[in-house]
Structure 1
Amino acid sequence: MKALRQRQYGCLDSLELSEVKKPIPAKHQVLIKVHAVSINDWDWALLHGSPFIPNRLMVGLFKPSIIVGSDIAGRIEAVGSHVSRFKPGDEVYGDLSGCGFGGFAEFVCAPEDALIRKPPSMSFEQAAAIPQAGMLALQGIRAKHSLPPDQKVLINGAGGGVGSIAVQLLKPQGVEVTGVDSAEKLALMRCWGFDQVIDYRAVNFTRNGQRYDLIIDVKTEQSPKDYERALSPGGVYATVGGQLTKLLRIALSGLRIQRERDKKLRVIGLQANGDLAYFNELFESGHFKPVLDKLYDFTESDVRQAFQRFGVAAHNGKIVVRLSHL
């Protein structure tokens, strides 16, 4: 089968499609024919071997030895002897980050508990766009236990997968949602439902005098003190992405701020696949639809372009690579 391999860290030109052995499912696993896979921050980090610890300890000190790709959608080809939830032919999707990745390949094996059935009306491309971004968006929102109507929420780095999902979950609650990203994305973000949009190059949202009841941050580029200043009394800052050193600063400062003030700074740890059934319900009821950026095919040139677009944060919503043409 074909799979995406990388000859060296940090060089997208070294991405290539290679022939590798088709996997065989263990007794609690299923074999999935992959129809679509999306790109996440974790894939980008693994391809660059950064941070050195823990990523290079996991995938190889000097040369990557892993097939990246966590959020997949496809059709089950075979099941292990102890599998009870699925049968060949079932259409499924899920996040494989906790069970070895491997999504950028024609076939991948995964434990049955890492997957959920895909609704018939949901495309494989839409399904592959949900798992990590959807769970992080939902966990970020739930970081503040109560969001009464008229409260203010800000999402930093809102033009990607997390922001495009979070705004759809927030607007039915009657809250005011502000999105921060590059100027090129703001018009489309208004179409997604954002009440206010901010160009991060022109305005620093932590210094414009506004206060928010909940901040969900995909980037985590400023100091804990800056984020604290932008919170209303009783407000919560929840980071769902960023460099490891900055996440550690948020975690340590959050302990101090929570003790001293009526504000909270939290680092959200991904709970993979926990509420995918909820997203299925929202999708089937017409209250949620994944936002897809440009679709790419499973060719070396297309995959390199897809990762390049992701790396410069030019995407709107989720970047998805489709394998259904193979």
Structure 2
Amino acid sequence: MKAIVQESYGKWDTLKIDEIPIPIPKENEVLVAVKGVSLNAPDWRLLQGKPFVVRVFSGWIKPKARVKGTDFSGIITVTGSSVKSFKAGDQVYGDLSSCGFGAFAEYVCIDEGLLAKMPSNLSYANAASLPLTSVTALQAVRNLAKVKEGDRVLIVGASGGVGSFIIQHCRNLKAHITAVVSTKRIPQAIRLGADDVIDYLTEDLAQATTKYDVILYVNGSYPISIFHRLLSSKGRFVLVGSSNLKHILYLSIFGKSLSKKYDKSYQVLMAKPNAGDLSYITEVVEQEKLTPVIDRQIEFSQIPFWIGELEKGHIGGKIIVDLDGQK
């Protein structure tokens, strides 16, 4: 089968298209013919093996996983002997980030416990945009931030894959949403449900005076310290999928002491794929309460280049690939 393979750490041009064997599913797995995939932040972070600490998991000298990619959609072709929830022919989608990656290929194997039936009202490519980012957003909003109706919510980095879903999850909970985005992303944030916007290109968030019940920090270069005074008493601060290792380490070490000192909650989200949350995503998408924001659709052969572009941080939504239409 065709796959995008990485033999060494480096830039996007270290990725090559190659022919590799079709995987064989274990008894609790299914084999899926991939019809759609999408790009995510882990694709470029793991590509370079930076910061160096990620190599504890990804391999010290060279990548353990030759084929990258987390999100996919497709059709089940073979089921393992103990699989109960799915059958050949089911249209499904999933996130491979917890089981070795491998979505950038024509076939993938995945445990049935990480799989869900894809929304019936989306194409394969659009469905593939959902698993990692929409579930990450859901777990941040529901599990850690515990957003409820009437909460004043500040979303820092609200225009990317995760941020655009956080806006929608908060909107569905009837929270009052302030989105921090660039000038050109303001219309998108308002369309998705933001009540107010802060243009980080023209406004200094450090000078803001509004208090928020919840702050969801998805992306940005702000120090954690500026959020202490923006967070209301008993407020909840959640660091979501940050690429800033210093922020992650700081809150992992000092989060509990900060919570006690300021009488507020400071937490780091470690999202975990699961079928229950993904099935919920299917439900709300079919109810038209959640929709993916697509930045662009590319060819399979363009994946390496666009992983490189993703690192620059100016993508407004998801980059998707339609393998179904290319066969």
TM-score, L = length of structure 2: 0.92
| Cα separation, partners in 2 of 1:63 and 1:145, compared to 1, 3 Å | closer
Q: Deviations over 1:132-186 (max 9, x none)?
A: 211221122122335232x311111111111211212222333221111222322
Confirm or deny: 8 A CA contact 1:178 1:198 kept in the other structure. Answer: yes
TM-superposed deviation, 1:7: 4.3
Partner Cα separation in structure 1 for residue 300 and residue 174 of structure 2: 41
User: 2:147 touches 2:170 (CA, 8 Å); kept in 1?
Assistant: no
Distance 2:9 2:199 in 1: 32
Counterpart for residue 252 of structure 1: 253
Deviation at 1:101, TM superposition (A): 0.7
What's the offset of the Cα at 1:73?
0.8
The number of aligned residues is 322
Aligned pairs (5 A) from 1:29-108? 29-53=29-53, 55-66=54-65, 67-108=67-108
- AA aligned opposite 1:252: I
Segments of structure 2 that go 5 or more residues without pairing to the other structure are none
Question: SS of the counterpart of 1:186?
Answer: helix
Q: Aligned partners of 1:192 and 1:50: how far apart in 2?
A: 33
Q: Distance in 2 between matches of 1:31 and 1:83?
A: 11
Normalising by structure 1, report the TM-score. Answer: 0.92
Q: 2:279 maps to what in 1?
A: 277
CA-based RMSD: 1.8
CA shift digits 1:76-109 (9 cap, x unpaired): 1111122121111111111111111100011111
Q: CA deviation at 1:204?
A: 3.2
Question: Structure 1: which 5+ residue stretches go unaligned?
Answer: none
Residue identity matched to 1:145:
K
- Aligned mates of 2:112, 2:93 — CA distance in 1: 10
Runs of 4+ in structure 1 deviating by more than 4 angstroms, as ranges, are: none
Partners of 1:17 and 1:146 in 2: CA distance: 43
Corresponding residue number in structure 1 for 2:319? 319
Q: Superposed, which structure 2 residues align to 1:1-326 within 5 Å?
A: 1-53=1-53, 55-66=54-65, 67-142=67-142, 143-149=144-150, 151-219=151-219, 221-242=221-242, 243-273=244-274, 274-299=276-301, 302-324=302-324, 325-326=326-327
Superposition deviation, residue 192 in structure 1: 2.0
Tell me how far apart the structure 1 counterparts of residues 147 and 167 of structure 2 sit (CA, whole Å). 16
- Secondary structure class of the residue paired with 1:216: strand
The 2-side partners of 1:10 and 1:203 are apart by: 36
Q: Measure the CA separation in 2 of the matches of 1:57 and 1:173.
A: 38
